[in-house]
């Protein structure tokens, strides 16, 4: 709840600051265009109308569409918003459209200044947005996927689309919202878009958080996994659960039902980190992470090489980029993670 309050406060402050800046720049433009009858009330009215237009355009641009459709929609929406803004200024101040255009031009600095603040302050220090790249964290975070119905509980289940050129007799595994893992049945093969989520960079990571970090072996790649082990701990997986320093851990309600596997089916015979015979012993600044789709590897259990000076299964503290707080798109997937 705290992360939601902080983000809402920052967003509200940013919107108010942008509106105030737009109004100040409009006054400058009105003087430049020598528009008569400028009052605070009229400036506030023009600002409110234009703010409504920009919010409506943001909603339209957020609607799902193909790349080609999005490009055309962005251009048309921005053009329409600009024309309607000039028309609003013309109507409020009862001036010619040419004068209203001249008065509107200085307000173009508003998005430039706002974006500069976002890229220079907000993104590096506070929040950043990401898109789920894969389905290794399904069903908590899902990338582009096929969707079906779980035969065990009837809830939606997910798997990554497969390339028909490399078809296999073995169907891919799917995982549902109840964490049941089954083989993919016939479905419509429609590819659904992945989740978009918000990451807070100022939060200290806690066990069971969704962690965004640089891959220990390849720091140019960002991963998102669930944080399981903290510095100085011994991690083992047994009976589908995580054991920390010999004590069984209980996942939060949002992750209840996960069965953590020390030996996924496709890696049988390999001695993985965190198994009963090969515990993961974490250093003072090391973390252990796992997929929510535990039947799929590619997490701390099977990494072969770590960051210089660190264990191969560990995420160094210096590689952590933030904690996932919200899934914000698509709306049906909205949820608070922390």
Can you give the pTM of this predicted structure? Answer: 0.84
**112 plus 225 within the same structural domain:** no
On whether residue 201 sits in a domain, the answer given is no
Q: Return the higher-pLDDT residue of 159 and 164.
A: 159
**173 plus 96 within the same structural domain:** no
Structural domain including 61 reads 2-127
Q: What is the reported pLDDT for 61?
A: 58
pLDDT digits (tens, 9 = 90+) for 162-215: 866 656 567 788 999 999 999 877 656 788 989 999 999 999 999 999 999 999
Mean residue pLDDT of the chain comes to 89
**299 plus 252 within the same structural domain:** yes
Q: Return the higher-pLDDT residue of 320 and 171.
A: 320
Query: pLDDT category, 299, cuts 50, 70, 90?
Result: very high
Sheet holding 156-159, edge to edge: 146-149, 156-159, 173-176, 181-183
* Confidence check: pLDDT of 66 > 70: no
User: Going by C-beta distance under 8 Å and a sequence separation of 6 or more, which residues neighbour residue 34?
Assistant: 99
Residues pairing with 130 in the sheet: 197
Q: Are strands 156-159 and 146-149 parallel, antiparallel or unpaired?
A: antiparallel
On whether residue 198 sits in a domain, the answer given is no
Q: What is the reported pLDDT for 168?
A: 59
**6 plus 115 within the same structural domain:** yes
Q: What is the reported pLDDT for 196?
A: 95
* Confidence check: pLDDT of 140 > 60: yes
Query: pLDDT category, 58, cuts 50, 70, 90?
Result: confident
pLDDT digits (tens, 9 = 90+) for 247-282: 999 999 989 889 998 776 656 556 789 988 899 999
Please give the average per-residue pLDDT across 34-55, as a whole number.
91
**213 plus 269 within the same structural domain:** yes
The 3-state secondary structure of 113-132 reads: HHHHHHHHHHHHHHEEEEEC
CA atoms within 13 A on the CB side of 216: 24
Q: Measuring CA to CA, how many Å separate 307 from each of 97, 105, 110, 212, 217? A: 61, 51, 42, 16, 6
**How many domains is the chain built from?**
3
CA atoms within 13 A on the CB side of 130: 25
**123 plus 167 within the same structural domain:** no
**8 plus 91 within the same structural domain:** yes
Transcribe 260-301 into DSSP letters: --SS-GGGTT---TTBTTB-EE--TTEEEEE-SSTTS--STT
On whether residue 333 sits in a domain, the answer given is no
**How far is it, in rounded angstroms, from Cα 262 to Cα 269?**
11
Burial (CB count <10 Å: 0-12, 13-18, 19+), residue 215: middle
Residues 264-280 as b or e (16 or more Cβ within 10 Å = b): beebeeeebbbbeeebb
**175 plus 268 within the same structural domain:** no
* Confidence check: pLDDT of 93 > 60: yes
Q: What is the reported pLDDT for 190?
A: 84
**178 plus 284 within the same structural domain:** no
On whether residue 195 sits in a domain, the answer given is no
**How far is it, in rounded angstroms, from Cα 258 to Cα 274?**
16
């Amino acid at each position: 709840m705290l992360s939601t309050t902080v983000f809402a406060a920052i967003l509200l402050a940013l919107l108010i600051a942008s509106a105030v800046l737009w109004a100040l720049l409009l006054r400058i433009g009105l003087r430049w265009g020598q528009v008569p009858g400028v009052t605070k009330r009229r400036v506030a009215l023009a600002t409110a109308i234009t703010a409504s237009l920009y919010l409506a355009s943001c909603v339209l641009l957020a609607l799902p569409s193909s790349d080609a459709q999005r490009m055309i929609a962005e251009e048309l929406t921005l053009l329409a918003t600009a024309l309607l803004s000039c028309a609003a200024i013309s109507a409020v101040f009862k001036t010619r459209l040419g004068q209203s255009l001249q008065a509107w031009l200085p307000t173009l600095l508003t998005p430039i200044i706002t974006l500069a603040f976002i890229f220079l302050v907000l993104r590096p220090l506070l929040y950043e947005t990401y898109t789920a790249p894969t389905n290794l964290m399904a069903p908590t975070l899902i990338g582009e996927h096929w969707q079906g119905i779980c035969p065990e509980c009837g809830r939606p289940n997910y798997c990554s689309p497969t390339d028909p050129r490399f078809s296999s007799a073995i169907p891919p595994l799917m995982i549902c919202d109840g964490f049941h893992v089954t083989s993919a049945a016939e479905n419509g093969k429609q590819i659904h878009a992945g989740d978009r989520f918000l990451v807070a960079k100022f939060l200290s990571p806690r066990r069971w958080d969704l962690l965004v970090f640089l891959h220990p072996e390849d720091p140019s790649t960002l991963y998102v996994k669930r944080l399981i082990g903290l510095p100085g701990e011994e991690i083992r997986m047994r009976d589908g659960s995580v054991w920390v320093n010999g004590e069984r851990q209980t996942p939060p309600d949002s992750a209840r039902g996960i069965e953590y596997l020390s030996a996924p089916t496709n890696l049988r015979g390999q001695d993985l980190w965190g198994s009963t015979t090969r515990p993961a012993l974490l250093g003072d600044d090391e973390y252990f992470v796992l997929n929510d789709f535990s039947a799929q590897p590619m997490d701390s259990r099977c990494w072969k090489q770590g960051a210089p000076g660190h264990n191969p299964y560990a995420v160094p503290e210096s590689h952590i980029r933030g904690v996932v707080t919200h899934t914000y798109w698509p709306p049906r997937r909205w949820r608070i993670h922390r």
